[in-house]
Amino acid sequence: MTTPLILTSPSSAPPRSAKNAPALLFLLTVLWSWALVICSTFWSHDDNYSYGFIVPFLVVIYLWRRWGIQPESFWKEISENTGLEKCWHPALIALPALALFPIEVYRNEYHQSGIVLWFINGAAVGGTLTALAWVGGVRLLRLSLFPLLLFLTAVPWPDRIAHPLQQSLMIGVAQVVAEILLWLGIPVETMSGAVLKLSRGAVGIVEACSGIRSLQSGLMLSLAIGELLLLTPIQRLGLTCVTTFFALISNLIRTLILCWIMEKSGSEAVDKAHDWVGNSAMYSFYLAIWVVGKKFSKGSLAGDQWPSGSGAKWGSRFGALRWDRVPDLRPLLGIVMACLIGAHTWYWILARQALPQTIPYFTARLETGSGVQKIPFNEQAWRQLKAHSGESLKLTSASAPLGFVEAYHLFWKPSPESKLALGHRPDSCMPGSGWKQVGGVQKTNIVIDGIDLTFHVFRFERADINILQLWGVWRNGKPIELSYSAGYTPNPEVYRPWPTDRHLLGVELVSCLIAFPPNTQEPSIDFGAQSLSKLFHYRQSP
């Protein structure tokens, strides 16, 4: 019978103390709760990261497995001579925690900042790895490294990485599919970069169809399968490379099938087939990753290793950890709690005082004879916008270069979605659809129903058409000041390191687009202003 490992050393050695262990465990609980609460919002509201809910469970399972299959000699060595020395003064460890207050404020103000999200989740993962180095040394840190890093696959990518990649994938998929259709003898024209015009209609490739969802979830799955099957490092790298290739190919096939259906049966058939084609491509992609992973592991029994043992045996393993090496973390824990509680207490007070906009101030002029009609929103685009209300409009006008003016109106109530509203800007969305921005951004004031409103003027062009766009965004009826001088940025507003009520308020967005042929005179801003006054009513009271 194996003698259980115990926390105390032989009598010749000084007794070990675990007095700092409770502060360490409580601190890790706070960090992981913070990370999970933040990420779960994205997992719930962003389809690209919906797979994130399963990742924490995989982390726990893989840690349990790796720890459980280690021999007793591993834990004996940890008990005797491993672990970092207690060499840091508590005050030095605690000082970096002062940064948590502005970080939590920044997260609440903007929500979509990938850099802040990665810092918070990095703190949870890094703090856990540091704790493991204290209590178990380098061997335990190495053993636990991969399962803990796997959690980072569920953290949203920073917009500065995800956004350009998403746009490139959209345009790339459209170009490749267009070439394939031409090879097959199907006439097709690439419009707006990511819109394919066929003889019976157009197929648009929006963000959700870019393939980035397959790429992100596929990378997580390939890493998870590699760990499940205990593949070698080379096999895991190969599986990841194959997964990246499969992600691109599956999305090309999906888009090609939808274009084929459009050409043969029209837009109604595409609408009916869209979801099942997408789901079939996605699940086939996941199945292919599993098949390749099993192929790589063929002939190996490594994936069959699973831990066994009673609760007492696990108790002896935890008892073998060098808890006496943990430094005094009480000052660090105190600052962390003070920062988080202080920030949210401030926000609680602001929430009691805020008077958020809960209904849109703009409404469409749909009266008989107005020349304004509602047109259907692109279903995929609407799901991506996640607005609480809105409409797409068309104004028939003999004065417009093409005989009509298009517009859209969106409103977000105070919510996680309203924090993401500023990401849907012309300088971000239009280039992603193949438009080239021309010149700088102007500011202009337009009067609607006697109210002076601030709009921004954008100009875009492509080979066959140009656009003058008047675009405005407001929070609780007040214009949001944005800077376009530095190009696209996911957080265009000025950051202040103290809490404000901006994320507690509603966001409203209005845009008017006037298309005109190339090499013709551009419509005047005054004509755009007149069109907006014909398209919308505006009032700030019910």
Residues 6+ apart with CB under 8 A from 365: 372, 534, 535, 536, 537
Residues 151 and 166 in one domain: no
Task: For residue 371, give Cα distances in angstroms to 13, 365, 406.
Answer: 90, 9, 12
Question: Is residue 37 situated within a structural domain?
Answer: yes
Q: How far apart are CA 164 and CA 351, in angstroms?
A: 35
Characterize the bridge pairing of strands 466-475 and 372-375: unpaired
What's the average model confidence in pLDDT over 34-53? 87
Residues 184 and 257 in one domain: yes
Alpha carbon dihedral 295, 298, 300, 303, in 10-degree steps, equals 40
Sign of CA dihedral 168, 176, 276, 244: negative
Q: Return the pLDDT at 10.
A: 39
Is residue 403 pLDDT above 70, yes or no?
Answer: yes
> Encoding tokens for residue 325?
């090496």
- Of all residues in the chain, the percent with pLDDT exceeding 70 is 87
pLDDT, tens only, 284-324: 999 999 999 999 887 665 556 777 766 667 778 888 888 88
Question: Is residue 8 situated within a structural domain?
Answer: no
Q: How far apart are CA 16 and CA 353, in angstroms?
A: 52
Task: For residue 184, give Cα distances in angstroms to 130, 173, 256, 260, 440.
Answer: 58, 16, 11, 10, 42
Q: How far apart are CA 422 and CA 137, in angstroms?
A: 46
Residues 391 and 448 in one domain: yes
- Residue 270, sorted as left (phi over 0), alpha (psi -120 to 50) or beta, turns out to be alpha
Residues 6+ apart with CB under 8 A from 406: 375, 392, 393, 394, 395, 512, 513, 515
Is residue 482 pLDDT above 80, yes or no?
Answer: no
Question: Is residue 301 situated within a structural domain?
Answer: no
Helices (H), 69-158: 72-81, 90-94, 100-110, 114-150
Residues 6+ apart with CB under 8 A from 206: 170, 194, 378, 380, 381, 384
The helix/strand/coil state of 516 is strand
Q: Return the pLDDT at 86.
A: 56
Among 249, 265, 296, where does a domain finish? 296
What pairs with residue 455 in β-bridges? 444
Is residue 257 pLDDT above 50, yes or no?
Answer: yes
**C-alpha angle with apex 384: 455 to 418, nearest 5 degrees?**
55
Is residue 99 pLDDT above 70, yes or no?
Answer: yes
> Encoding tokens for residue 485?
């001088």
Residues 107 and 227 in one domain: no
Residues 496 and 446 in one domain: yes
| Exposed e or buried b per residue across 492-526, where buried means at least 16 C-beta atoms within 10 angstroms of its C-beta | beeeeeebebbbbbbbbbbbbbbbbeeeeeebebe
Task: For residue 342, give Cα distances in angstroms to 44, 175, 339.
Answer: 27, 52, 5
Residues 479 and 401 in one domain: yes
Residues 6+ apart with CB under 8 A from 416: 41, 45, 111
Provide the residue range defining the domain that includes 150. Answer: 21-156+306-353
Q: Return the pLDDT at 414.
A: 86
Sign of CA dihedral 338, 341, 342, 343: positive
Is residue 212 pLDDT above 80, yes or no?
Answer: no
Q: Letter for the amino acid at 446?
A: I
Is residue 387 pLDDT above 80, yes or no?
Answer: yes
The closest of 283, 289, 411, 316 to 359, measured between CA atoms, is 411
Is residue 14 pLDDT above 50, yes or no?
Answer: no
Phi, psi (5° rounding) for residue 412? -115, 125
Q: Return the pLDDT at 308.
A: 72
The helix/strand/coil state of 239 is helix
Q: How far apart are CA 84 and CA 134, in angstroms?
A: 5
Q: How far apart are CA 158 and CA 474, in angstroms?
A: 25
Q: Return the pLDDT at 395.
A: 94
Q: Letter for the amino acid at 308?
A: S
Question: Is residue 223 situated within a structural domain?
Answer: yes
Q: Return the pLDDT at 434.
A: 67
What's the average model confidence in pLDDT over 224-239? 92
Domain count, the chain: 3
Question: Is residue 9 situated within a structural domain?
Answer: no
Looking at residue 244, the DSSP 8-state letter turns out to be H
Q: How far apart are CA 505 and CA 510, in angstroms?
A: 17
Q: Return the pLDDT at 12.
A: 40
What's the average model confidence in pLDDT over 353-371? 89
**C-alpha angle with apex 480: 479 to 486, nearest 5 degrees?**
135
Q: Return the pLDDT at 112.
A: 60
Question: Is residue 334 situated within a structural domain?
Answer: yes
Residues 167 and 285 in one domain: yes
Residues 163 and 131 in one domain: no
Residues 376 and 483 in one domain: yes
Higher pLDDT, 241 or 209: 241
Question: Is residue 14 situated within a structural domain?
Answer: no
pLDDT, tens only, 109-134: 776 667 788 889 999 999 999 999 88
Q: How far apart are CA 248 and CA 305, in angstroms?
A: 33
> Encoding tokens for residue 437?
């921005």
Question: Is residue 346 situated within a structural domain?
Answer: yes
pLDDT, tens only, 334-355: 999 999 999 999 999 998 888 8
What pairs with residue 189 in β-bridges? 197
Residues 101 and 81 in one domain: yes
- Residue 266, sorted as left (phi over 0), alpha (psi -120 to 50) or beta, turns out to be left
| Proportion of the chain in helix, strand, coil states, percent, rounded to 5 | 55, 15, 30
Q: Return the pLDDT at 89.
A: 74
Phi, psi (5° rounding) for residue 422? -70, -10
What's the average model confidence in pLDDT over 365-377? 88
Residues 435 and 506 in one domain: yes
Higher pLDDT, 64 or 258: 64
**C-alpha angle with apex 191: 188 to 196, nearest 5 degrees?**
40
Residues 490 and 534 in one domain: yes
Is residue 39 pLDDT above 50, yes or no?
Answer: yes
120: buried, middle or exposed (CB in 10 Å: 19+, 13-18, 0-12)?
A: buried
How high does pLDDT run on average in the chain?
83
Q: Return the pLDDT at 437.
A: 86
What's the average model confidence in pLDDT over 146-174? 84
Alpha carbon dihedral 302, 304, 306, 308, in 10-degree steps, equals -120
